[in-house]
A and B are shown apart, each in its own frame.
Chain A
Amino acid sequence: MVDSPGALVIGPARERRLEGIHDLGGMSGFGAVEVERAEPVFHEHWERRAFGLNTLGLAVLRAYNVHEYRHAVERMEPAHYLAASYYERWFTAVASLLVEKGVVTREDLERRAGGRVPLSRPATSITATDASAMRAEMPARFTVGDGVRVRDMRTRGHTRAPRYVHGKRGVVVRVAPTFLLPDLAGHGRRAPHEWTYQVEFPATELWGAEGRHGDTVVVDLWESYLEADT
């Protein structure tokens, strides 16, 4: 796609490129869930190491923040994402970020590993316009019982608004604390702290006739993702 400056993060006009394979909520075609009895915390030693390397990158080296980490997982090639185990995704994100931040080089990793080290795809750049479109209001704009609608978002970068609630109507059931807006923090940008809200959506609003009357889904959303539903 054309990566033109001034493209809006929020707004219905722009086509999204194939990204967001991680955003699985409501996707059809998946089979049974297998529950392993007496599952160990880690199955293999390298999983424990992948876990430790991420805490090292986050807490000791402070090479990236947790939002950049999540975004790096989301930037994996879709086929690799679905084929990889959980801790392979952790490793891929950590290695990608440490290469992007100049801490290690891909060539060095591939030489040491004796083969290819697949990394996440580069982040798309978000523009100043993006940031201004997401300025938070203080104090909390919504309160318990308020009707809200999730903006019809077309995000090119990191976001935590799952696709299945875009454009959907719900009711605020709890005002949660403020947190850094991931849409900017995930790109290593200065981000505001924004109010977050637990918003309850009727299953029928999300899935039409497939949804059971009386059942609901509650989603935790940043204020920038919401508009008043009057």
Chain B
Amino acid sequence: MSDPRQPKPAAPIAARVAALEEALTDAGLVPEGYLDDATAPMEEALSPRNGARVVARAWTDPAYRARLLADGARACAELGYELPYETSIVILENTATVHHAIVCTQCSCTAWSLLGLPPDWYKSPEYRARLVREPRALLREMGLDLPESVALKVWDTSGETRYMVLPLRPEGTEGWSEEQLAAIVTREAMIGVARVSVG
């Protein structure tokens, strides 16, 4: 017997979303083709390959690296990335003594244009709760064991500024082309939960 005090189970999420789409369409509020035309190009354009190209350029061109750290938006625009979703961007440079990692504890803000739409792990309550409080333990679980000699800075994306980590260039990549380097730069490294490694 059903308990009248218990709410009925919710309709399946796919049915709820379809209901809203249908209601708005019937009201004439959805421009023809909008839901496909507007989102498909975003899926394509918002990709961590963009950030990887910026990183690879910074690794191979010291003057570009300096411009990137001084004015991230302008340096990204040089490579054709206009960052429509990021009014303010800061590039965080990992060094031999400082490691940066990014989180958004209150939702899941990221630099979409450079890192892509965020992956599930970044959006998980586990990551959001733990990175600010026990970052070293969490990073170790995720495969990144930071030495005691390295200071860790965690950046909580609580405002409108967005961040991207400029990871350390791995050894054994001397003489590599920009394309080769971009291919090994992962989204995880640009968020600061992994190093870039060769092979």
Contact B128 A198 (CB under 8 A): no
Please give the residue numbers on chain A whose beta carbons come within 8 Å of chain B beta carbons, in ascending order: 22-28, 30-36, 39, 41-42, 44-46, 48-53, 55-56, 60-61, 70, 73-74, 82, 85-86, 88, 91, 94-95, 98, 103-104, 108-110, 112-118, 160-162, 164, 174, 176-177, 179, 196, 198, 200, 206-207, 210, 212, 214-222
CA distance A196 to B88 in the complex (A): 11
Contact A91 B17 (CB under 8 A): yes
Known: A39-B119, A196-B161, A220-B157. A33 touches B15 (CB 8 A): no
Contact A41 B116 (CB under 8 A): yes
Partner of A44, one of B14, B124, B128: B14
Question: Could you say which residues of chain B place their CB within 8 Å of the CB of A32?
Answer: 126, 141
Residue B38 is within 8 A (CB to CB) of chain A in the complex: yes
B61-94, CB < 8 A from A? 87-88, 90
CA distance A204 to B118 in the complex (A): 29
CA distance A220 to B109 in the complex (A): 12
Contact A39 B120 (CB under 8 A): yes
7 A-B pairs besides A36-B119, A210-B133 with CB distance below 8 A are A25-B106, A42-B43, A52-B35, A52-B36, A112-B19, A176-B160, A221-B159
Contact A220 B156 (CB under 8 A): yes
Contact B135 A116 (CB under 8 A): no
Contact A25 B126 (CB under 8 A): no
Question: Could you say which residues of chain A place their CB within 8 Å of the CB of B11?
Answer: 110, 113-117
B45-70, CB < 8 A from A? 46
Contact B132 A216 (CB under 8 A): no
Distance of A35 from chain B, by nearest CB (Å)? 5
For the complex, would chain A's binding face be called helix, strand, loop or mixed by DSSP majority?
mixed
Contact B38 A177 (CB under 8 A): no
Known: A179-B160, A217-B156. A46 touches B9 (CB 8 A): no
Residue B152 is within 8 A (CB to CB) of chain A in the complex: yes
Partner of A73, one of B7, B23, B107, B121: B107
A-B pairs with the 4 shortest C-beta distances?
Answer: A220-B159, A115-B11, A25-B105, A112-B19
Q: How many A-B residue pairs lie within 8 Å, measured between CB atoms?
A: 227
Contact A176 B126 (CB under 8 A): no
Known: A33-B142, A53-B35. A82 touches B125 (CB 8 A): yes
Partner of A88, one of B13, B34, B43, B138: B13
Contact A104 B20 (CB under 8 A): yes
Contact A25 B128 (CB under 8 A): yes
Contact B159 A104 (CB under 8 A): no
Partner of B16, one of A86, A98, A117, A221: A117
Known: A55-B38, A116-B10, A216-B153. A109 touches B16 (CB 8 A): yes
Partner of A113, one of B16, B30, B155: B16
Contact A86 B133 (CB under 8 A): no
B120-168, CB < 8 A from A? 120-121, 123-130, 132-136, 138, 141-142, 151-161
Indicate the member of A33, A50, A176 with the most B CB atoms within 10 Å. A33
Contact A174 B107 (CB under 8 A): no
Contact B154 A218 (CB under 8 A): yes
Contact A219 B158 (CB under 8 A): yes
Question: Could you say which residues of chain B place their CB within 8 Å of the CB of A88?
Answer: 13
CA distance A56 to B30 in the complex (A): 8
Contact A41 B117 (CB under 8 A): yes
Question: Could you say which residues of chain A place their CB within 8 Å of the CB of B142?
Answer: 33, 35
Distance of B115 from chain A, by nearest CB (Å)? 12
Contact B130 A30 (CB under 8 A): yes
CA distance A36 to B105 in the complex (A): 20
Contact B133 A207 (CB under 8 A): yes
